[in-house]
Structure 1
Amino acid sequence: MDKNYETVRRIMLATNKIDGVYYLLGKNYGINENTLAFLYALTDGKPHSQKEISDEWIIPRTTINSIVKTMLAEGYIMFCSEQHTKEKAIVLTESGRKYADRFLKDIYSAEEKAIIGTLENYPPEFVSALEEFGNRLYQEFHEILQNKKEHIKHEQF
């Protein structure tokens, strides 16, 4: 347990550092980390629904909805029709791409340098391992929360 605890602790510290860097960059640019993540999600050029962004980036739907309202009003995003879905898909407008580029150009540059340096020391599979750990941890926490809800529900009766 102690070795696993230390390993998880190191991962947690590393991910907190990564999150903190994005938080500080957003703050430096005058936007919050959720807006930065929202823009980041949309810069892949594909349409995304609010639900999809909320689920993938683990940002509350109410927060995503607020960001969408603001970005729509500012002309940075627009809805596009996606066939076979109830959800409206969102894409960046041309002015939205320019707006996002103001922040993301520097971020992409720093990320590129950081990943090149990392890949000089570690194989690219470390990303898959980290993704798997994140997915498994998400599942375990989800299960814990579901069990707590069931326990609370039974206690009420």
Structure 2
Amino acid sequence: MTSQNPILNLWATTTLFGNVYDDYIKRFDFNYNELACFYSLYVFGQCTQKQICNEWLLPKQTINTLCKSFIAQGLIEIVPHTGDKREKVLTLTEKGKEIAKPMIEPLLDIEKQAVKDFGDERMQKLVNEFQEFQLTFNATFLKSIGE
């Protein structure tokens, strides 16, 4: 269903895009939040809970609870942090890598192929335009509420 409101159409499209990830991860008996954690740790090697939250726009408490569970299951571990000692740097354990690899590797291949099929240049333009529109929308919003 298409709306006359382009913002609603954009919102619906991005929601459908996210649903693909949600449907994909259900095949492995995990949920979207768990995918976020596995994906970030697999792709980046190590990261903080805050980085996962920022990358996937998830609440801190959600990721904190999930990470505690993954630590208890032996899927991730805390590694020493060279900077802020309050931040917990996480990495996948060998067991975590064994679980993540068959989920994340095919997903990365799908993402690469989709970008290739769409076109690298078109993809970069789409991302740039979307980011520019988000900045415009945010500025307009803040102006309208007096901030």
**TM-score of the two chains, using structure 2 as the length reference:** 0.80
How far the C-alpha of 1:117 sits from its partner, in A, is 0.8
CA distance in 1, matches of 2:136, 2:48: 24
Residue 82 of structure 2 aligns to a residue whose secondary structure is coil
CA RMSD, aligned part only? 2.8
CA distance in 2, matches of 1:90, 1:135: 31
Identify unmatched segments of 5+ residues in structure 2.
none
CA distance in 2, matches of 1:51, 1:107: 23
- Contact 2:74/2:95, CA 8 A, preserved across alignment: yes
Q: Which has the higher helix share?
A: 1
Identify unmatched segments of 5+ residues in structure 1.
148-157
Name the % identity. Answer: 26
Correspondence list, 1:5-154, <5 A: 5-6=5-6, 8-85=7-84, 86-119=86-119, 122=122, 124-134=124-134, 137=137, 143=142
How far the C-alpha of 1:135 sits from its partner, in A, is 5.3
Residue 83 of structure 2 aligns to a residue whose secondary structure is coil
Deviates more, 1:53-62 or 1:115-124: 115-124
Residue 131 of structure 2 aligns to a residue whose secondary structure is helix
CA distance in 2, matches of 1:56, 1:138: 18
CA distance in 2, matches of 1:54, 1:126: 23
How far the C-alpha of 1:58 sits from its partner, in A, is 1.3
How far the C-alpha of 1:140 sits from its partner, in A, is 6.5
Residue 44 of structure 1 aligns to a residue whose secondary structure is helix
Alpha-carbon distance change, 135 to 59 in structure 1, aligned in 2, over 3 angstroms: farther
Residue 29 of structure 1 aligns to a residue whose secondary structure is coil
Larger radius of gyration: 1
| Number of equivalences | 142
